Structure 1
Amino acid sequence: MAYGIAVEEAGEVDLYRFGRSKQIFRGPKPDLGGGYLTFIGGSATFGKFVREPYPKLIENRIGTTCVNLGTPGAGPGFFLKDPVVLETCSRSIKCIVQVMDIAPLSNRMYEVYPRRNMRLRGVSAVLRSLYPQLDFADFRFVSAMIRKLKEVDGEAYEVVLAEQRSAWLARMLELLLDIETAKTLLWIRPDEDDGMNQSVTQEMIDVLASHVDTVLTVSVGESNNLGRGLAGLRKDTGWMTRAVHTKIASVISDELQALQPQKRPA
């Protein structure tokens, strides 16, 4: 079954359901008959506002089928609930796992919807006690709530942040263990805090590093020079620009090609 969403550069982008999975992913639907690479992550991997996100650019460069399983607003819990996706990743040559945001993930402070991770499902008594001045019924999206928590009481938010990080690290470790193939951890790291920073630290990445084959870090931001003077993030939406996708594709392609066995001279 085909679906469509508007993408600035490409008009309509095909979406499809993947096998028995209930999730919808960005097309075109891949052929898994041969060897393939998988890419899981959030909005950056999905590639809204670009015709060809970095998984597609990598496919163009190296000629190997690249399966884009990125989903806008997804946290690691999104993929843990889908055995079809986990099986597909485990059967791939390699899975590139994006470091996803810590916010769209259920924890002891709040709960998100399983298939719409950026939507707020409910908050705990602990969070209410930290912010008695707030009416949480006003929030439908996690991002809006997090911005308000920071604005109202930065000290109380440090308690929330610690819980977010703890839950995120546990779920990311679980996800990496469930993907039974070679793995690359991709950290698309903001240069500056734009108010919705991932809040992932180098120490957290170091914990995950022992569970993957490689860690690749790509810095992005409005101040970043990504070639031809193009900015890394769109100022109106915060989504990554085509220049960033090109940069990420280049970094990953170089890493993949470096791992290929070299031909011996005749």
Structure 2
Amino acid sequence: MKKITIFAILFISITFSSQGQDVGKWRAGSPFKLTGGVYTLTCFVSRPDEEWAYDAKIKKLNVLKENQEWIKTQALKYGFSVDFSESGHLGLKEDIKLPSIESGTGSGKEPVNLVSQVLYKAGYKSTLDLFDWVKHHTKAENLQVIIFAKGQGRGYSMASSSAMNKEKYFVEGTVLYETSTSGKESSTSAIAHEILHLYGAWDLYKTFCQTAENEKKARELFPNSVMLKVSNNLNSLEVDKVTAWRIEWNNEPEEWYESFRGDCRQ
């Protein structure tokens, strides 16, 4: 098995597209609950004719650390603790090369097997080898994979359900691009937004599975929600109480919370 190198410092959610099929139970993958220890594996990927600059990688890792510190602070406000101290990386010295990398567009049709593709390319025979390694060599209860892809695109998360192939989809993660679709620096808060999706958070702005009506309602109730708006100032954002309920930080839900599900399957 490939040994993971420990590294000290370290917008939209894709749901399984299977209309007319049983999608099973969601939140059935490697990140179980956003409390306790979380092992974060970061991966830097690029196409054969491209290469990440090393300083750009370090910058992304620092932004990731900033987002995780913010999540820890938000968890404490709800009386929970999260520990992101255990982590590893792949592709820091030399990029993991993929034949092609599809740019996220917000369509909901992006590929959701990128985690398994990257792990196989990195040398894993099975994605579950990574999960087993984390389980037996760390104190973390959760495993999340953060893929930084060279190029432009709109980040998205890849959540798993009990009806999906365990080998391909059990290890969950999110992909974030070097820049946005416009070529500008991606918003700082995009990382926290996508991480929260892995634990059950819904988008609160209009998407392929969220309604314009719910976005309007969210703007009135939670104008600073990280699931509603983007910002380079994380301290201007918050985890709203509906999102806190979805990620199991709020154990006193109100009936109207469910109305924010929209058309999302999760």
TM-score interval (norm. to shorter): 0.3 to 0.5
- Greater per-residue helix proportion: 1
Please report the TM-score for the alignment, with normalisation by the length of structure 1.
Answer: 0.34
Question: Greater relative contact order: 1 or 2 (C-alpha under 8 angstroms, separation 6 or more)?
Answer: 2
Look at both structures and tell me which one has the larger radius of gyration over its CA atoms: 1
What's the TM-score once normalised by structure 2's chain length?
0.34
